[in-house]
């Protein structure tokens, strides 16, 4: 069964969306995910600044 995550504080930096959620242990986690078709980039971070940096430096591979 997939985990349902409720994202908050969503921002969009180019094709990448950055959002904050609580993990299963109640800690804040931050995700950067690319919304371009066929890209598949998605990572989790402990810091919001790290997720935003990943969003700013992400380049989609053709």
* pLDDT (tens digit per residue) in 22-40: 988 889 999 999 999 999 9
Q: Band of the pLDDT at 21, cuts 50, 70, 90?
A: very high
Asked whether the beta carbons of 54 and 33 are under 8 A apart, the reply is no
pLDDT at 1: 57
13 has which bridge partners? 16
Asked whether the beta carbons of 41 and 22 are under 8 A apart, the reply is no
Q: Band of the pLDDT at 12, cuts 50, 70, 90?
A: very high
User: Percentage helix, strand, coil, to 5, in the chain?
Assistant: 15, 40, 45
pTM score, whole prediction:
0.84
pLDDT at 61: 79
């Amino acid at each position: 069964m997939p985990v349902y995550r409720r994202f908050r504080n969503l921002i969009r930096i180019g094709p990448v969306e950055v959002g904050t959620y609580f993990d299963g242990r109640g800690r804040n986690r931050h995700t950067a995910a690319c919304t371009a078709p066929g890209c598949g980039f998605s990572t989790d971070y402990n810091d919001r600044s790290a997720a935003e940096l990943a969003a700013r430096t992400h380049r989609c591979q053709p």
